[in-house]
């Protein structure tokens, strides 16, 4: 009886998993469009164990975490350690399987991404990442497009117009995002 209830809970949790986009605001590029969060004790412990590979657009966001392991993971990973403001504090490219990654006490979460993600995005310590649901990214980029259209009609610089729009809107403030990010 208890086993059936537990398996039903696990199945319903799998169906309700949210997918996040990871965008490097400093370098203006996406790192991934399909990151899932490991925000429970069980999901953090399991991580990517049992997976045969990680697609280019997939990843795992381990929250909270200041380090990870790759025991049982059959492929190398790129690791990005983040502080509470989603600022990159450490990166490791091509981290091998069956290892324990170094602990970074100032980290509050770790992104596990496919190899070459760090290299192709040129992500470095100090970069600011935006992690949010795909709907939020779409809404933000629509605002940027509107600002671009406004600037074209007014003859102003697009980049300056986008910055002004961002200052006026609350979407730049990460405090608003952090409270809504892990509602699963």
In which band, very low, low, confident or very high, does the pLDDT at 144 lie, cut at 50, 70 and 90?
low
For the chain, the domains span 18-132, 134-181
Inter-residue contact 59 to 35 (CB < 8 Å): yes
Mean pLDDT value across residues 7-21: 56
> Rounded CA gap, 87 and 125, in Å?
8
pLDDT at 2: 33
Is the model's pLDDT at 106 over the cut of 80?
yes
Inter-residue contact 85 to 138 (CB < 8 Å): no
What's the pLDDT tens digit per position in 25-71?
Answer: 999 999 999 999 999 988 888 888 888 888 888 999 999 999 999 99
Instruction: Kindly state the tokens that stand for 127.
Output: 């970069």
Instruction: Determine what percent of the chain is predicted with pLDDT higher than 90.
Output: 50
Inter-residue contact 109 to 64 (CB < 8 Å): yes
Instruction: Kindly state the tokens that stand for 42.
Output: 């069980």
Instruction: Kindly state the tokens that stand for 72.
Output: 């049982």
pLDDT at 50: 83
CATH of 18-132 given 3.30.930.10, 3.40.640.10, 2.60.120.1140, 3.10.450.240: 2.60.120.1140
């Amino acid at each position: 009886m208890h086993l059936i209830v537990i398996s039903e809970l696990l199945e319903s949790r799998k169906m309700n998993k949210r997918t996040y986009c990871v965008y490097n605001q400093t370098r203006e590029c996406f790192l991934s469009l399909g990151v899932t969060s490991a925000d429970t004790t069980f999901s953090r412990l399991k991580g990517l164990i049992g997976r045969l590979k990680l697609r280019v657009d997939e990843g795992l966001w381990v929250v909270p975490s200041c380090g990870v392991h790759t025991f049982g993971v059959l492929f190398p990973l790129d690791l990005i350690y983040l502080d509470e403001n989603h600022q990159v504090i450490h990166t490791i490219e091509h981290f091998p399987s069956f290892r324990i990654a170094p602990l970074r006490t100032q980290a509050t979460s770790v992104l596990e991404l496919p190899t070459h993600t760090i290299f192709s995005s040129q992500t470095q310590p100090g970069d600011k990442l935006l992690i949010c649901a795909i709907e939020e990214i779409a809404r933000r980029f629509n605002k940027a497009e509107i600002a671009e259209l406004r600037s074209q009609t007014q003859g102003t610089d697009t980049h300056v117009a986008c910055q002004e729009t961002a200052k006026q809107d609350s979407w730049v403030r990460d405090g608003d995002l952090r409270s809504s990010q892990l509602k699963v």
